[in-house]
Amino acid sequence: MRTYINNINNLEDGSIIEIDGWVQEIRKIKKLLFLIVRDNTGSVQVTVKDNMVKNYDSIYNISRESVIKVSGKLNKKSISKSGVEILANEIIILNTAETPLPMGVIDLVDVDFDTRLNNRFIDLRKPENLIIFKFESELLFGIREYMNKNNFIEVHTPKIVAAATEGGADLFPVQYFEKRAYLNQSPQLYKEILMSSGFDRVFEVGPAFRAEKENTVRHLNEFTSIDIEMSFSDDETVMRMLENAIAYSVNRADSILGKELKGLGYSIEEVRPPFPRIEYSELINYLNDNGFKLNFGDDFSPEAMKFVSKKYNGFYFITKWPKDLRPFYTMPDDTNRNVTRSFDLQLRDIEVCSGAQRIHDYNMLENSFNEKGLNKNNFEFYIKAFKYGMPPHAGWGLGLERLVMNLLNLSNVRESTLFPRDRSRLSP
């Protein structure tokens, strides 16, 4: 049976084992051949002697990043750097890598980011890149676990839709047989329909599509969105659910991968809710007191948020956004109809989540369509659910790649995306 390299230290000295992996490094000293073999859990030295392996000559000339199967004896008294080696008695070449490689795996020579993405299959072999997606996987598992513990039902809503979720022009059109359709911006409208259906609490992990033309280090045109919706709740309820879910999943992932992350140059701080809350109008005043010139209704520039992050160097909420900056389904504030019961969650200077209490009254929703200049007939499948018993509800959408980018202090959201889709990249 195959042994993963990170489990070798759990075996007894002298054990006969078998590993599979890539030839990362090759060192030759006379009749001795030293291979560093890597799988997705780590690397180990394989020592090859010419009188121990039948196909020694072909192994001697093997190229880096070739794929091999090694059978041999475990030596835990090795003088290698790790103190462990495998004394090979059989090596099978499963696939020979061509030379030269389009880019190195352990080489110190830097390559530009486009070269990395164009050769993503090799770029992801680098341990420092692989760990990003191990962390992302554990983070997502933790969020799912937290939601399951809190009685949420995981759902999967359509990604080809007849109407825009939020209106506007940031849509990818799709020819759907004889009709025009769109790739969904978010599962928002379907989540709300499920509140009318009595599901009570739902969450979804799935792709979202935004035809935004920004080509920045924080924008993607296809990303993974983690969404929830809760009946009989308000904006404050779902903010608490959000901060607790993030704390649970981040701290869990760090407990599993923290040592490996730190060894590869990443550091995760413990997340402790509750997160600070600052109202939009208070933030406007704070920025204007510090030299910015902003009016109520303005969005915050990246420069403004970098300044704010000096004060809030972690997670924090911006609450009570203006009505004009929020979608039609957002509930107005009880005391000021120009303000909404909405929030953004920031991690330092980057928005990672947006949420709100939703309008649940049919007449109020109809008025909101008119105020936003939207044709309610295009949303008949949605507003119909509000006529026959819609409970108060609230929810949020969390961008997975942005969250991982900021938690690991990556410089570009494409680093936390397996195969990025942006304005200029459609392949691989």
DSSP structure string for 127-164: HHHHHHHHHHHHHHHHHHHHHHHTTPEE----SEESS-
In this structure, the chain runs to a length of 428
Annotated binding-site residue numbers: 166, 210-212, 218-220, 351, 354, 358, 399-402
Residues in the annotated binding site for L-aspartate:
166, 210, 354, 358
State both tokens at 3. 């042994």
Selection from 325, 322, 143 nearest residue 242 by Cα = 143
Tell me how crowded residue 222 is: count the other CB atoms within 10 A of its CB: 16
Average pLDDT over residues 193-213: 96
* Per-residue pLDDT reduced to its tens digit, 249-292: 999 999 999 999 999 999 999 999 999 999 999 999 999 999 99
Domain boundaries, the chain: 5-95, 127-416
Name the CATH code of domain 5-95 (choices 3.90.1150.10, 3.30.2020.10, 2.60.120.330, 2.40.50.140). Answer: 2.40.50.140
Name the β-bridge partners of 296. none
Confirm whether pTM is higher than 0.75: yes
Residue 73, pLDDT score:
96
- pLDDT band at 169, cuts 50/70/90? low
Q: Is the pLDDT of residue 376 over 90?
A: no
The answer to whether the CB of 315 falls within 8 A of the CB of 275 is yes
Q: Class of 127-416 per CATH?
A: alpha beta
> What whole-number distance in Å separates Cα of residue 273 and Cα of residue 300?
24
Give residue-wise pLDDT tens across range 71-130. Answer: 999 999 987 787 899 999 999 999 999 999 999 999 887 899 999 999 999 999 999 999
**Greatest distance between any 2 Cα atoms in the chain:** 85
Residue 167 has pLDDT above 70, yes or no: no
| Percent of the chain at pLDDT exceeding 70 | 99
* 154 CB burial (10 A radius; 0-12, 13-18, 19+): exposed
Query: What is the chain's Cα-based Rg?
Result: 26
- For residue 367, is pLDDT > 90? yes
Rounded to whole angstroms, the Cα distance separating 362 from 337 reads 17
List residues with catalytic annotation.
210, 212, 218-219, 351, 354, 402
What 3-state class would DSSP assign to 330? strand
- Average pLDDT rounded to a whole number, residues 356-363: 98
Binding residues for Mg(2+): 351, 354
Question: Binding site residues for ATP, as ranges?
Answer: 210-212, 218-220, 351, 399-402
- Nearest one of 19, 39, 242, 260 to 137, comparing CA atoms: 260
Residue 165's pLDDT is 64
Q: Before 428, cis peptide (omega within 30)?
A: yes
Strand order in the sheet with 160-161: 160-161, 179-183, 173-176
